Amino acid sequence: MYNPSAAGSAGSTEYNNRSFLYEVVGLKNGNGMTNDLVRKSGTTWITVPYNRMNQELQRITRLGGQIISIKPLDQVSVTGAEKVETQSQKPVNKTSKAKVKSKVPVNTYRPKDPFIGKCTEIYDLVREGGIGTCRHMTFDLSGGDLKYLEGQSIGIIPPGQDAKGNNHKLRLYSIASTRHGDNLEDTTVSLCVRKLEYNDPETGEKVEGVCSSYLCNLSPGDDVAITGPVGKEMLLPEDEDANVIMIATGTGIAPFRAYLWRMFKEGDKNPDYNFKGLAWLFFGIPKTPNILYKEELEGLTQEYPDNFRMDYAISREQQNSEGGRMYIQHKIAEHADKLWELIQNPKTHTYICGLKGMEGGIDEALSAAAAKHDVDWVPYRKQMKKEHRWHVETY
């Protein structure tokens, strides 16, 4: 058994504010079975604050684990396939950091001078028996300079004027294709758009969203005014060993489709990126016919079972543990312990995209899992945010 006292003196104030990386093998879950989902290699990496080292040692022992090594986070050796890095572990290099940021294209085209793309394809994503209208559409970018990365958005300027005679304002939409486009020729961009429809609470009249209706009614050959790209919050980590947890509702699936295509479908276009981590998608929808990109997603689970897992939360068809409708937060709660274990790895990133308000239920589920280890979830999440491992884009 590794002696944690070898990692530092209890009387050292320098160590009191530090965290350590435990390399552990042999951990078992609550049913006594090894959790192969998280550790294909048999090794678990656990980040532990100094003041919890003894408690964590006791917990690991109870779970049948063995500590192989303990290293200060800021002194982690990065060798071979087991290298572990976080933003805080890397020396701060302002020049290097600025160079990385400069590679992210932002606002190549602005509202006063948008790029005029052309719709090349549009098709329905909601199948018979589903709720609402949602369409996938692709725009040709040939002849322009609009380049983008997975996780970014573009702006669409609908034609016409509002009731006050002003030109319609642009709306932002998450990009659903990789930087290479659906045609893999670096000349297109795709969106996943739900048509906004609701009844006015006062008049009862049907109201349709200006931009979403415009987009969903496009035909191939139509011109579209495009701005952007924008956004750095949802960028996919370049580390091919990263674990990526994706939590989506409805059209929040758009950036995750881009992630998954980059991870699994574009090997020939990305020889320097060979995804080796775990991608785990949680997808909340009202009915089975509303599972957007269903065939694509389920095909990936069959083709890459060791690297891609997907769980649906189908609110009008599934029940949660209390007998009510199954929403995304309930599905997260079902797997909260495994997710908690997974996010201990400093190479795990969590992304949330979809309807505003979904964050609260997710926080509640993960808070319960963290509490089992005497960890306060909110400050822990804030620390993940500082480490650029917790990403949220809701609307």
Looking at the annotation, which residues are catalytic? 173-174, 353, 393, 395
Bridge-based pairing of strands 66-72 and 134-140 is: unpaired
Among 163, 187, 162, 164, smallest CA distance to 177 is for 187
Long-range contacts of 221-224 (CB under 8 A, 24+ apart): 221/118, 221/119, 222/118, 222/119, 223/116, 223/117, 223/118, 223/119, 224/116, 224/117, 224/118, 224/119, 224/139, 224/156
Sign of the Cα pseudo-torsion (14, 17, 21, 22, in order): positive
Strand arrangement, sheet containing 171-174 = 171-174, 153-157, 223-230, 115-124, 134-140, 188-194
Residues 6+ apart with CB under 8 A from 95: none
Q: Exposed (0-12), middle (13-18) or buried (19+): which is 145, by Cβ within 10 Å?
A: exposed
Please check whether residue 43 is in contact with residue 22, taking contact to mean a CB–CB distance below 8 angstroms: no
Please check whether residue 183 is in contact with residue 153, taking contact to mean a CB–CB distance below 8 angstroms: no
Q: Which of the 8 DSSP states describes residue 335?
A: T
* CA–CA separation, 60 and 77 (whole Å): 22
Give the chain's end-to-end CA distance (angstroms, integer). Answer: 49
What are the distances in angstroms from CA 309 to CA 52, 63, 256, 284?
Answer: 32, 25, 13, 15
